Structure 1
């Protein structure tokens, strides 16, 4: 009997696709001569133009606010620096026409007026293609680069983030006239009296004045959330337009999808007003067997012996440089003291119970006879699709039609040109299936995502403030 879900009662969902230009990461195969610079603008331009040629919804940039360190030295096994997100996205707005431009911007070490002004400007410059992945910073190490470094307790960082988002929304909505005309004769913007007037007074912000950027094409950027925690799911259900996820199986994806979307009704929102978009890698081959062999080779390139030891140190919180990556795991347990080996790494915080995680890793290594390197290759893998173009197209479609996601944020292992193979081989098959656009139908990112136009809010209203989950540098919590 067929296990395919019954899809005769509802129309086939359209797949949403985005492209992630990986920043600080262990995805890019740096040893491959095809890997390009992560500093030169040409890399970002080529990547964006491939995504737009394939009619993707948006390009996504993560953001790091400090160079990471391990054992007291700069962690040099991946990208150690990258240009400012706003600068890159603004430049990309000039060389693309329809592609959405999404960036991770931190709410802990910025100010509402500054961030609102930058996003409103980007939305104008791009004609309505801006998106904001809202995150907070959790560690004092990153905060040392800023005046406020590390001064807030964890619960207060949540509260500040919530107030920050409320404040930026107040600023975005401060130009609340239905029509704003540009008087070409005088260069003046015409609106109802007191355009841009705002007032925000709470425990974190005491600001009022006049916002100097007229209402942008989308009203505000599309709001993204990266979070798997209880608070992250609630924020997404209440406020976000899209949520990233990191579930590696179809069953886990379906459970997450149902949980988040079931929360939306209590906030007066329809399920289709939130898109669930897991990150995913892909490996293409002429046949499924060829792709599987290639995938094994790529994972060994991504996780060198040195990289495996560095990843293990992040859990063990010890210097393990004397250990053989092709040997067994350490017999000693992780150090539960203050994290000093790896600083500025999201993965340190992700292991909430180091002893339990170490126990699970030991059991896995013993069961499968894994070395340190083989173990790290498995436990650091993300959602991935491996096979021929036809197999990958069918699998992506199955996940979306089965409500395991609404689409995917693709992370190629070669940048900037690694996306091209997917664009040329998989996208046409999705178009043949009728589940992916052949041309852009709208001009704004909200239209690409199938989101409704935003209602206008009064900047002087006392609407309930949204909540935000705390996530490190755009990585799901």
Structure 2
């Protein structure tokens, strides 16, 4: 008997702080004007996508002591944007990235419970940690937490927030997974939490929301991040772009669920993916090359090289050869607040590798960055892209994709109009929404059901 076709999950990422957007395109719009968010969200809903996703940066990124102004340098508050979008959409899930390192459980739980009520059960929370003291300078506590402390705090943060969400149910003393204890009293929503990171008590003032709790996303690719997701998340983002890499990640994460009493279908794996469409595969390939060169200007290429060299390279010609000097491996880094810095843990080895690649292919600095940086995941005609996406999902490389267009806000329109209908014809993507809440769209159980119980249908 053949294996039944998996249903594909699709979501849309409003790019935000990134190097993805092609700012020079005449159709590129504002990343702060609400009309951009509204257009993007309503396109995603028209295409029957599961949710819209917003990333968030807590500090403007800097390079060489100056604001990095080659991509987005600001973003309205996440909760404000999502609450506004709740009023102009009916079914689309609303996912926000909220940091667990510098926020407090009561405040975040209250905001998400309110959003879930306002949206009729469509709220989702991407739980992230902060890794640098640079970001911490914006907050009263300042500083930063070591990796093990960040995930310890994040785990207790989420557990504490869940205690607040659940405080309107039951009347008993319970122990959470982090070793803390809490009291919940349905009559008044009272709580007491005593743990390593939080010692709070009071009354939660938002009643049980339609989903009980927001859907929880996690984005870490480290072993700690994967374990956190297996224990507590409903979905995990992935950056693995190849079929083989996706399958390895998918298998690893799904295999971790059993130790927490969870089934494989209780955690969705959703990689981010870019796309370029053309009338033919050849046309799309040509357009993808043009898009990539427009994403990586000469100035952008030099700034990217500075992540590794940790030096001011503004005097170099981006169309010329790589620097013959070695990277500065000192403690201070020229780039502040950029996750890419962590990707190059051995800058001397990376520089040697890049010089070898440039010499072998005759690449300039700009050519190197174009060819070693992120590329479009799906390139081709609508039929080719639909077929490739379906192949990844059916081969268990993912459960779907979070699409990141290179034009904001209209870049999603062509996918909605030309690819989604082909997926629907294959019978692997919905033609109508499945129910009123985001949990319905994702096929996830309500938290009031016992773990391992039936899924929402």
Q: Do these two structures clear the TM 0.5 threshold for a shared fold by scoring above it?
A: yes
Q: Aligned partners of 2:334, 2:67: CA distance in 1, in Å?
A: 11
- Cα displacement string for residues 280-310 of structure 1 (whole angstroms, at most 9, x for unaligned residues): 1000000000000000000000000100000
Name the structure 2 match of 1:45.
Answer: 38
Q: Is the contact made by 1:245 and 1:278 (CA closer than 8 Å) also made in structure 2?
A: yes
Comparing 336-345 with 46-55, greater Cα deviation is found at 336-345
Name the structure 1 match of 2:274.
Answer: 281
Q: Aligned partners of 1:316, 1:446: CA distance in 2, in Å?
A: 45
Q: Aligned partners of 1:335, 1:361: CA distance in 2, in Å?
A: 16
Q: Aligned partners of 1:369, 1:195: CA distance in 2, in Å?
A: 70
- Cα displacement string for residues 28-80 of structure 1 (whole angstroms, at most 9, x for unaligned residues): 00011101101110100000000000000000000001111111111000111
User: Per the alignment, do residues 294 and 382 of structure 1 end up closer, same or farther by CA in structure 2, a change over 3 Å counting?
Assistant: closer
3-state SS, counterpart of residue 20 of structure 1: strand
Q: Which runs of 5+ in 2 are unaligned?
A: 172-183, 451-457
Residue pairs, 1:50-65, within 5 angstroms: 50-65=43-58
Paired residue total: 438
Q: Which runs of 5+ in 1 are unaligned?
A: 1-7, 179-190, 458-477
- Cα displacement string for residues 373-427 of structure 1 (whole angstroms, at most 9, x for unaligned residues): 1111122214510000000000000000011110000000001011000000000
Q: 2:142 matched to 1:149? A: yes
Name the structure 2 match of 1:76.
Answer: 69
Residue pairs, 1:272-351, within 5 angstroms: 272-351=265-344
- Cα displacement string for residues 324-365 of structure 1 (whole angstroms, at most 9, x for unaligned residues): 111222222221112331111111122222222223222322
Q: Is the contact made by 1:248 and 1:382 (CA closer than 8 Å) also made in structure 2?
A: no
Name the structure 2 match of 1:254.
Answer: 247
1:161 to 154, 158, 168: 154
2:442 to 425, 440, 449: 449
Q: Aligned partners of 1:234, 1:159: CA distance in 2, in Å?
A: 12
Q: Aligned partners of 1:144, 1:193: CA distance in 2, in Å?
A: 39
User: Per the alignment, do residues 339 and 383 of structure 1 end up closer, same or farther by CA in structure 2, a change over 3 Å counting?
Assistant: farther
1:199 to 163, 174, 192: 192
Q: Is the contact made by 1:128 and 1:445 (CA closer than 8 Å) also made in structure 2?
A: yes
3-state SS, counterpart of residue 23 of structure 1: coil
Return the offset for 1:369: 2.1
Residue pairs, 1:75-154, within 5 angstroms: 75-150=68-143, 152-154=145-147
Q: Aligned partners of 1:97, 1:216: CA distance in 2, in Å?
A: 16
Name the structure 2 match of 1:433.
Answer: 426
Return the offset for 1:230: 0.6
Q: Is the contact made by 2:236 and 2:270 (CA closer than 8 Å) also made in structure 1?
A: yes
2:214 to 186, 210, 221: 221
Return the offset for 1:177: 5.0
Comparing 79-88 with 198-207, greater Cα deviation is found at 198-207
Q: 2:203 matched to 1:234? A: no
Q: Aligned partners of 2:332, 2:10: CA distance in 1, in Å?
A: 37
Q: Is the contact made by 1:246 and 1:382 (CA closer than 8 Å) also made in structure 2?
A: no
User: Per the alignment, do residues 45 and 301 of structure 1 end up closer, same or farther by CA in structure 2, a change over 3 Å counting?
Assistant: same
Q: Is the contact made by 2:276 and 2:376 (CA closer than 8 Å) also made in structure 1?
A: no
Q: TM-score, normalised by structure 2?
A: 0.93
Q: TM-score, normalised by structure 1?
A: 0.89
Name the structure 2 match of 1:460.
Answer: none
Could you say what the CA RMSD is over the residues aligned between the two structures, in angstroms? 1.6
3-state SS, counterpart of residue 330 of structure 1: coil
Q: Aligned partners of 2:169, 2:372: CA distance in 1, in Å?
A: 49
Return the offset for 1:151: 5.1
Q: Aligned partners of 2:269, 2:151: CA distance in 1, in Å?
A: 23
Q: Aligned partners of 1:292, 1:236: CA distance in 2, in Å?
A: 36
Q: 2:19 matched to 1:26? A: yes
Q: Which has the higher contact order (CA 8 A, sep 6+)?
A: 1
Comparing 209-218 with 48-57, greater Cα deviation is found at 209-218
3-state SS, counterpart of residue 13 of structure 2: strand
2:357 to 354, 364, 381: 364
Q: Is the contact made by 1:222 and 1:446 (CA closer than 8 Å) also made in structure 2?
A: yes
Q: Aligned partners of 1:67, 1:12: CA distance in 2, in Å?
A: 44
